[in-house]
């Protein structure tokens, strides 16, 4: 059976069918991500002072990933233009570049960024015990500077067993630079380059801790929304890459030889999806990495 209106336009809509289809789908995607973004806004507006962390993500890596996604958006539109000009060879190379960009993006996210968070530790100190850890929190300095209160000690957890073993009464944490030197004005604002935990070890008694966990979704509303939104976005990137791989394989060359315009339209529709994924990231990046 032949599928109607893959290339020619339908008289009543003035469009070939897949174009209407993808835009309806993208409309539903706007609602999906819109719901998550409104949840983000709500959680953030409602976060008590000091409970919305800043500077925990790696900004240069995030910037690089943003650039990679933007470049892939350019290559996919160039791939489409190459097909329109009937240059299959150029199309093939642009498509390969797009696929590689998508794979690099996902690899950075899944192999580098997320695991680094899973390996990071944070302990929220009980409000009444904050003074005991003043040397790590520097709340007097923060208050004098008009900064939000610091309630959490973060860094690399040396005795991981402490997380689950009730017999271990304290956490040994190699402190992050902020907690190692909290009164240093240079620590008042997040740094552009990632600063690894220092050699300075702090012992934090479990009895003084309100809540302690690795940087997992359960750590905070911030990380819960970060992992949910970047996770869903990552799944979209994966979906796009799989579709592009199909369009790059020899099976699509046969379609090109039979009906080049049909392949061009397929690439256009997949490209629209890809640009949408890029568009979502344009908002995700500043909201989580920078602000």
Q: What is the closest distance, in whole angstroms, from the C-beta atom of residue 92 to other proteins in the complex?
A: 17
DSSP string, 98-131: HHHHHHHHHHIIIIIIHHHHHT-EEEEEPGGGGG
CB 215 within 8 A of CB 122: yes
Query: For residues 127 and 286, which CB has a smaller minimum distance to other proteins in the complex?
Result: 286
Contacts of 157 (CB under 8 A, 6+ apart): 121, 163, 171, 172, 173, 214
Q: What is the closest distance, in whole angstroms, from the C-beta atom of residue 43 to other proteins in the complex?
A: 10
Q: What is the closest distance, in whole angstroms, from the C-beta atom of residue 269 to other proteins in the complex?
A: 11
Residues that bind other proteins (CB under 8 A): 1-5, 7-8, 13-15, 19-20, 23-24, 27, 30-31, 34-35, 37-38, 41-42, 45-46, 48, 59, 63, 66-67, 70-71, 73-74, 77-78, 81, 84-86, 189, 192, 259, 261-262, 271-272, 275-276, 278-279, 282-283, 285-286, 290-291
Query: For residues 31 and 207, which CB has a smaller minimum distance to other proteins in the complex?
Result: 31
Could you give the CA distance from residue 96 to residue 91 in angstroms, rounded to a whole number? 9
Residue (of 70, 69, 76) closest to 93 by Cα position: 76
Query: For residues 15 and 163, which CB has a smaller minimum distance to other proteins in the complex?
Result: 15
Query: For residues 175 and 280, which CB has a smaller minimum distance to other proteins in the complex?
Result: 280
Q: What is the closest distance, in whole angstroms, from the C-beta atom of residue 108 to other proteins in the complex?
A: 16
Q: What is the closest distance, in whole angstroms, from the C-beta atom of residue 193 to other proteins in the complex?
A: 12
Could you give the CA distance from residue 59 to residue 65 in angstroms, rounded to a whole number? 10
Give the helix/strand (H/E) hosting 212. strand 209-214
Could you give the CA distance from residue 44 to residue 202 in angstroms, rounded to a whole number? 30
Residue (of 231, 229, 242, 250) closest to 273 by Cα position: 242
Query: For residues 84 and 253, which CB has a smaller minimum distance to other proteins in the complex?
Result: 84
Q: What is the closest distance, in whole angstroms, from the C-beta atom of residue 38 to other proteins in the complex?
A: 5
Query: For residues 23 and 194, which CB has a smaller minimum distance to other proteins in the complex?
Result: 23
Could you give the CA distance from residue 54 to residue 220 in angstroms, rounded to a whole number? 12
């Amino acid at each position: 059976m032949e599928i109607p209106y893959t290339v020619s336009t339908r008289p009543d809509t003035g469009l070939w069918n897949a174009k209407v289809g993808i835009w309806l789908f993208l409309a539903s995607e706007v609602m999906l991500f819109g719901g998550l973004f409104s949840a983000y806004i709500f959680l953030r507006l409602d976060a008590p002072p000091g409970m919305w962390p800043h500077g925990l993500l790696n900004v240069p890596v995030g910037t690089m990933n943003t650039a990679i996604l933007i470049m892939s958006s350019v290559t996919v539109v160039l791939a489409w233009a190459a097909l329109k000009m009937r240059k299959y060879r150029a199309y093939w190379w642009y498509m390969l570049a797009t696929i590689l960009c998508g794979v690099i993006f996902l690899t950075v996210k899944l192999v580098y960024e997320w695991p680094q968070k899973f390996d990071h530790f944070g302990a929220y100190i009980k409000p009444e015990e904050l003074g005991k850890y003043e040397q790590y929190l520097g709340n007097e300095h923060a208050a004098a500077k008009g900064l939000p209160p610091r309630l959490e000690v973060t860094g690399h957890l040396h005795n991981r067993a402490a997380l689950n073993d009730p017999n271990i009464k304290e956490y040994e944490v190699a402190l992050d630079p902020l907690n190692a030197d909290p009164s240093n004005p240079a620590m008042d604002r997040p740094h552009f380059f990632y600063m690894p935990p220092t050699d300075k070890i702090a012992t934090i008694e479990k009895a003084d801790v309100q809540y302690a966990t690795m940087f997992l979704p359960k750590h905070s509303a911030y990380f819960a929304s970060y992992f949910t939104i970047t996770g869903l976005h990552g799944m979209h990137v994966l979906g796009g890459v799989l579709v592009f791989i199909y369009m790059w394989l020899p099976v699509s060359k046969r379609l090109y030889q039979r009906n080049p315009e049909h392949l061009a339209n397929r690439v256009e529709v997949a490209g629209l999806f890809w640009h949408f994924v890029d568009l979502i990231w344009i908002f995700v990046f500043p909201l989580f990495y920078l602000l």
